[in-house]
Amino acid sequence: MTISPPLEAPETPGVNPVLKIGLLGLGLLGLIAAPYLGAYPIFLMKFLCFALFACAFNLLLGYTGLLSFGHAAFFGGAAYFTGHAAKEWGLTPELAILVGAAGAAGLGLIIGFLAIRRQGIYFAMITLALSQMFYFICLRSPFTKGEDGLQGVPRGKLFGVFDLAPSLNMYYFVLAVFVLGLLIIWRFVNSPFGMILRAIRENEPRAVSLGYDVARYKLIAFVMSAALTGLAGGVKALVFQFATLTDVTWQMSGEVILMTLLGGIGTLIGPILGAGVVVTLQNYFATSQFPVTIITGAVFMICVLLFRRGIVGEFYASRLGARLGFDLRR
């Protein structure tokens, strides 16, 4: 058995622990108090679902260096799996969401196994092609109800006790799932395994020369990203009580890429901020005559031209971010 030599952590300045805990605490308190400050619970739940979706995608792109154009398959597939489990099988919401996440992980294993040995644009196009194949399966399958979608998904009772029909109860359940997913991602990227993923992203030939099975590490990261994406998709199905083809289209994959790039690739809170900007724009212009796609396209061009690292990435790289002790690579 070959024992791979350990990778040494890069010497980077850490974030001031007091500042970090304080910022996280303020953010969590803000989300807890948001419904009582006039924020619409449905809007907040949509934001949290897409924020978790973007963070899961960033786990693959920002920390492993793999650009997937097919993550909508995991997001929408989990929505269908969760909706079917809750509606047809009568499972409680927490079990239905686990079914959705497990289904997304299974899809991730299949797609990842077929795509992971390719790199760059070839990897991206394989994930896109397989995602489109899954879209047409959803379009024709009686399991998904085709173009009508899976409607009337019950929210049910959490653990058979807590009724999630009221929007406020559902919001705090979604918030708990979001925080759990964020903690899983944080632990994953700050573990020795996450350190190896960053080494693969920065210099894959060197990681191979050190004896690491790069393909296996990439596949594990891909499946983990798919499972967390499925967690977000399953929760969204319960929030809106339906699952449609919109969640599995290639445009959904494009949206999550935009969210991640806008907030900052390779940062923990960047995708959250990016998701907030995109969801807010969609909500604000939903009732207007002005196409929201033009606005999001303009925002994306501004980001690419002026904020190459994303909003959070540019802040981390700025003099103020350096003085506060933030590091773009964490």
Tell me the pTM.
0.88
- The amino acid at 134: F
Reference 327, options 21, 31, 5, 10; nearest CA is 10
- pLDDT tens column, 250-290: 889 988 998 998 888 888 888 999 899 889 888 877 777 77
Please tell me whether residue 227 adopts helix, strand or coil conformation. Answer: helix
142/14 Cα distance (integer angstroms)? 52
Q: How confident is the model at residue 4 (pLDDT cuts 50, 70, 90)?
A: very low
**Which ranges of 34-156 does DSSP label H, i.e. alpha helix?**
41-64, 72-87, 93-115, 120-140
Residue position matching structure tokens 């604000």: 284
SS3 content of the chain, % helix, strand, coil (to 5): 75, 0, 25
- Classified by CATH at the fold level, domain 17-27+40-324 comes out as ABC transporter involved in vitamin B12 uptake, BtuC (1.10.3470)
- pLDDT tens column, 61-96: 988 889 999 999 999 999 999 999 998 898 999 999
Inter-axis angle of helices 214-240 and 41-64, nearest 10:
170
- pLDDT tens column, 170-187: 999 999 999 999 999 999
